[in-house]
Structure 1
């Protein structure tokens, strides 16, 4: 099989990820729950992972990294725990439902929301965004890269807007963590939400939320923390404040191995390879009759994603044909990005998404180009 669905989950993982999970299952206990070796070893492994993540995103305090099950949980924590009635927040039409649905929920509690539209290429109007800031605006929440078009947000520009207006900047880094450098200090990011199973090469069921020291979030969950057990209140110190219950130590061990793979390989090398494959694919299909490609390809600053359609054919049919006839895995449909599809005019048809990994090859891209030429001719 040729796997081009890395924006959904990366495959394959580096071999050391599976080995780390196997070793953790056989050697680690529950962190912060005992003074014996299994527990202490688990605590050390988890803290090392916090350190690596803090370093990756330039966050000073590793204890301000809390582990979650995925970016969806992280975003729910950030969005549902940061605002009250009559607060105003701004987001964009680029967002995944992991941002949109929690926002729609808190709107029922009196939080005001503004959603900045995108043009037909999926590009954001930064002037309109900044012009939408009001006296009661508390935050801007956005994705770093569209999971549909691959268009990147200029997070440094957006972070500066937040800093100038004293707003929280909440970033969904699901599509970019591990591929693009993200600096919470330089980009003025207050809360960063990430998933482990995409470009960080970790197992599914891993993710996290990084916060700076000035942020206070009301926990989404409360319960056991391994600390302050006689208090009726959940601890408010990080990371316990946002980590009720036993965390996924085995998965975190795998995530740590994935991050170490990125460190050893080099994030620039990974990104350059993925973008090289993306441009090879784009240039190989852009002139094929009947194929329509979505997104902005006038800039090299983009995520390694290409979404397309063939005439008016349902995207699911094209994706199924690619799988059945050519053994090529892609993602079709709405991609949990309804507003982006409305901006592109594809809400009924969906789109076929190709997303590239460090483990894909130029030969695989050539096969995909040939397959699309044949499908376009049929």
Structure 2
């Protein structure tokens, strides 16, 4: 099997730093017992794995108390915990048209089941929201502003600190979906006014799939969406009050957290500034190269604008799924095609009828791989090929 040119880091980053795999193997050999469920040596080691992970994440996100971070399976799990655990009947939520279905679907489920109200702020073709429209959207019943930090379709970066300031002025909590920014952009929950921060372990934090988490402001009490064993307060029929046990029912993914911790340590050592600069350089190279391809349309902000490493495009007369298939089959280049779980984002971009091809380089992508992708897309465009 040939090694692919991997350009799907917006879905899952690859490859991982070597320490991630080593940490997971070491945990499986030495600390694969149930954390918090026993006093024997392996159980204590397992508990230490989770605590070390929380500490590393707290350092990265500037969280004062590591126990305010609850581990989840992924960003979707974290967002469901935040939305289902916080919102009640009659509450109003402000969000945007760029949101992933991980925000939109829980909100629409709550709208149908308990009668919350939702306002979707319009975005232009570049994915930008108008802060004056945000200010006008607040109601007496507004309970939450829920916004993605960076669009998984357009690469647009929302001004989280400004949004947080607006929400704070009105006494409304702010939930940030950091699926495309954790480990890549600077995140300071206090300075940016973030009350709830949902993040994946398997993308910019360079950990394995099945890991993620939710930072919960110490003043916020969410209703748990899962009940069960925690190893604490076992005599009670209620979930324990103490954090993080309250939000972590059941046996956790200790081995995954071991890998995630090493990924976070790698990010801390490299710094988000260096990682973002590297990915931005690759993105500019890719966008400038694709601009020269006849009949190609780039989505989102141009290369001169600050953005994340997500480059979505369309070829005239070509189905995005066919383009992605050809890139994989004939050139060994892995990209993503379709609607990227953000139908309203495609509506904003004017691609509802087609979807798009998304290429997302990562920290370990090379300049020569970018050239290979540009050449391949140019070749496909020139020959106007279709799947045979």
Provide the TM-score with structure 1 as the length reference. Answer: 0.98
Q: How far apart, in 1, do the equivalents of 2:303 and 2:333 lie?
A: 27
The residue number in structure 2 matching 1:68 is 72
Match of 1:24 in 2: 27
* CA apart distance, 1:301: 1.8
Question: What root-mean-square deviation, in Å, do the aligned CA atoms of Structure 1 and Structure 2 show?
Answer: 0.9
Distance 1:135 1:105 in 2: 22
- Cα shift at 1:211: 1.0
2:307 counterpart (302, 308, 320): 302
Pick aligned residue for 1:37 from 35, 41, 45:
41
Matched, 1:182 2:206: no
C-alpha deviations, 1:246-298, integer Å up to 9, x for none? 11000000000101111222222111111100100111111321000000126
Q: Which of 93, 102, 112 is equivalent to 2:97?
A: 93
1:10 paired to 2:13: yes
Partner-residue secondary structure (3-state), 1:81 = helix
**2-structure distance, mates of 1:148, 1:242:** 30
- Once the two structures are superposed, residues 208-263 of structure 1 have per-residue CA deviations (whole angstroms, 9 ceiling, x without a partner) of 00011111100010110110000111112210111011110000000001011112
The answer to whether the aligner puts 1:103 opposite 2:107 as a matched pair is yes
Aligned length, in residue pairs:
378
After the TM superposition, which residues 268-279 of structure 1 pair with which residues of structure 2 at under 5 Å, given as runs? 268-279=273-284
Deviations 1:118-155 (A, max 9, x none): 11222212211221111110110010000000000000
* Structure 2 partner of 1:142: 147
In 2, distance between residues paired with 1:264 and 1:351?
35
User: Within the alignment, does 1:280 sit opposite 2:285 as a pair?
Assistant: yes
Report 1:259-274 matches (<5 A). Answer: 259-274=264-279
For 2:137 and 2:161, locate their aligned partners in 1 and report how far apart those are by CA, in whole Å. Answer: 18
Distance in 2 of aligned mates of 1:369 and 1:218: 48
Check the 8 A contact 1:97/1:337 in 2, yes or no.
yes
SS at match of 1:11: coil
CA distance in 1, matches of 2:146, 2:257: 26
Alignment of 1:225-374 (within 5 A): 225-297=230-302, 299-374=304-379
**Deviation of the 1:299 alpha carbon:** 4.6
The answer as to 2:222 corresponding to 1:214 is no
TM-score by length of 2: 0.96
Q: What CA distance in whole angstroms lies between the structure 2 residues aligned with 1:71 and 1:122?
A: 21
Moved over 3 A (4+): none
Asked if structure 2 preserves the Cα contact closer than 8 Å seen for 1:312 and 1:349, the reply is: no
Q: Contact 2:283–2:303 at 8 Å: present in 1 too? A: no
Q: Encode CA deviations 1:75-102: one digit per residue, 9 max, x unaligned.
A: 0000011011111011100100000000
Any stretches of 5+ residues in structure 1 without a counterpart?
none
Are 1:83 and 2:87 an aligned pair?
A: yes
